[in-house]
């Protein structure tokens, strides 16, 4: 029979569980290749990333590089800067530096968000598409590109020029709503001459994602836009990867680690945490089973009887003691009487069955109606003993 007191947590079981957890972690650990998580980052080769756009531009002659720092002016005015729906917004200072480089002759391939700082500077507003989709509208500028209509799943956003928009912007592709405002046309690909440089604005960047960029009809549009940004030349393309989450960013966890490691208050907190962990280990489950707890023996029934008799004697509870004795007699010799019968009815039944104890029964029935003194209580005990001997024979 297994030992019931054997602990569930033993060193052998802990070691086996540790090995199993490590093995599962190695099997289920993610790939070392970074994922996009829905971002248009050129580091990601999964369906949502923009690695395909990066590699295609490089192999077609555009030198490509990744910028993992903020835009600090002055910037090179001979490059093309690709800012693809950045989750880390550009500051107003960065926007000014990029636009200043474009004025000097640089190109900007821009996929803005709903709240991009470029929108106000360029006089455009980004809007979501209507609920029932859009239909492409051919324009003269689009026909000059020699590009087929892109995927019907694109775009998911539309652009609306404001009064502050440059008057010489080029509407490369426009759409109209299928059912709502079907007479209103919104551009989704804009070309904006800006000083000596040019800017291409795409309403939504899903067309640049690897999953759609593999289709040559979709991939041709971004390449034509690069050719429009720098006609007749192949300048360096700079992809803003800092604003996709790469590089050195302010981090709450890094700040906490620095404060804990390099300040007196932080080191004190570490000491308190270590002390708390040691205390929890000391009070928690131990690797070695403790000795079984010593248990004291319970008092015997006779000791309980003696203690109860002494308590009754101290308060002169002779009537209660007599009823307890009769109840014990009834429990040991029920003689077929109902449990609901009173003590008087039980004693009458005993006298009717055994006339030899009729005298003792009459004395007990009399004592039940009055409070017997200690001397008579001892006599009642003798009578009950006589009745029990009679019933046992």
CATH number for the domain running over 51-244 = 3.40.50
Q: List alpha helices for the chain, DSSP H.
A: 11-28, 51-59, 92-103, 117-122, 140-143, 210-213, 216-229, 252-262, 264-283, 301-315, 318-332, 343-353, 358-368, 374-392
Q: What confidence category does residue 32 fall into, taking pLDDT thresholds of 50, 70 and 90?
A: very low
What's the token pair of residue 54? Answer: 């990066």
d(CA 88, CA 65): 19
Which DSSP helix (H) or strand (E) runs through 161?
Answer: strand 157-161
Return the ∠ at Cα 60 (arms to 34 and 63), rounded to 5°: 65
Nearest alpha-carbon partner for 158 in 178, 142, 173 = 173
- Give the model confidence (pLDDT) of 189-245 as tens digits: 999 999 999 999 999 888 899 988 888 888 889 999 999 999 989 999 999 999 888
What is the mean predicted confidence (pLDDT) over 314-342?
A: 79
Annotated domain spans of the chain: 51-244, 308-392
Those residues whose C-beta lies under 8 Å from the C-beta of residue 34, and which sit 6 or more positions away, are 41, 43, 44
Q: What confidence category does residue 36 fall into, taking pLDDT thresholds of 50, 70 and 90?
A: low
Nearest alpha-carbon partner for 209 in 38, 32, 58, 60 = 38
* pTM attached to this predicted model: 0.58
* Res. 6: pLDDT tops 80: no
* Res. 76: pLDDT tops 60: yes
Measured CA to CA in angstroms, residue 102 lies from 54, 275, 366 at distances of: 21, 59, 121
* Res. 385: pLDDT tops 80: yes
What's the token pair of residue 232? Answer: 């007749």
Contact (Cβ atoms closer than 8 angstroms) between residue 166 and residue 123: yes
The pLDDT of residue 73: 77
The pLDDT of residue 2: 46
The pLDDT of residue 255: 75
What is the mean predicted confidence (pLDDT) over 380-393?
A: 86
The pLDDT of residue 364: 85
- Give the model confidence (pLDDT) of 251-264 as tens digits: 677 778 778 887 88
Q: What is the mean pLDDT of the chain?
A: 83
The pLDDT of residue 357: 87
């Amino acid at each position: 029979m297994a030992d019931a007191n054997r602990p569930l947590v033993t060193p052998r079981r802990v070691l086996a569980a540790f090995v199993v957890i490590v093995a599962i972690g190695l099997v289920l650990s993610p790939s070392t290749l970074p994922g996009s998580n829905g971002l248009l980052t050129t580091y990601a080769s999964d369906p949502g990333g923009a690695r395909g756009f990066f590699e295609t531009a490089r192999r077609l002659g555009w030198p490509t590089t990744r910028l993992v720092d903020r835009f600090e002016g002055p910037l090179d005015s001979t490059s093309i800067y690709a800012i693809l729906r950045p989750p880390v917004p550009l500051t107003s200072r960065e926007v000014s530096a990029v636009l200043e480089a474009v004025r000097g002759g640089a190109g900007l391939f821009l996929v803005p968000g709903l709240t991009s700082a470029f929108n106000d500077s360029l006089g455009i507003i980004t809007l979501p598409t209507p609920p029932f989709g859009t239909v492409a509208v051919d324009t003269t500028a689009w026909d000059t590109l020699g590009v087929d209509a892109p995927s019907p799943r694109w775009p998911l956003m539309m652009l609306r020029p404001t009064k502050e928009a440059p008057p010489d912007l080029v509407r490369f592709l426009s759409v109209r709503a299928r059912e709502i405002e079907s007479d209103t046309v919104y551009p989704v690909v804009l070309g904006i001459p800006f000083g000596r440089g040019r800017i291409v604005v795409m309403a939504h960047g899903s067309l640049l994602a690897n999953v759609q960029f593999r289709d040559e009809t979709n991939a041709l549009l971004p390449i034509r836009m690069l050719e429009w940004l720098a006609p007749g030349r192949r300048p360096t393309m700079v992809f803003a990867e800092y604003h996709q989450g790469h590089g050195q960013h302010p981090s709450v966890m890094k700040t906490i680690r620095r404060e804990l490691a390099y300040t007196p208050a932080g080191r004190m907190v570490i000491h308190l945490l270590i002390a708390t962990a040691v205390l929890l280990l000391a009070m928690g489950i131990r690797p070695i089973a403790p000795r079984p707890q010593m248990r004291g023996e319970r008092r015997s029934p006779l000791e309980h009887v003696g203690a109860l008799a002494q308590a009754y004697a101290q308060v002169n509870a002779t009537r209660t003691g007599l009823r307890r004795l009769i109840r014990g007699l009834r429990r040991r010799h029920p003689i077929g009487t109902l449990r609901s019968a009173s003590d008087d009815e039980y004693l009458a039944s005993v006298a009717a069955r055994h006339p030899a104890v009729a005298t003792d029964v009459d004395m007990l029935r009399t004592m039940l109606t009055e409070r017997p003194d200690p001397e008579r209580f001892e006599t009642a005990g003798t009578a009950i003993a006589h009745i029990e001997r009679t019933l046992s024979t």
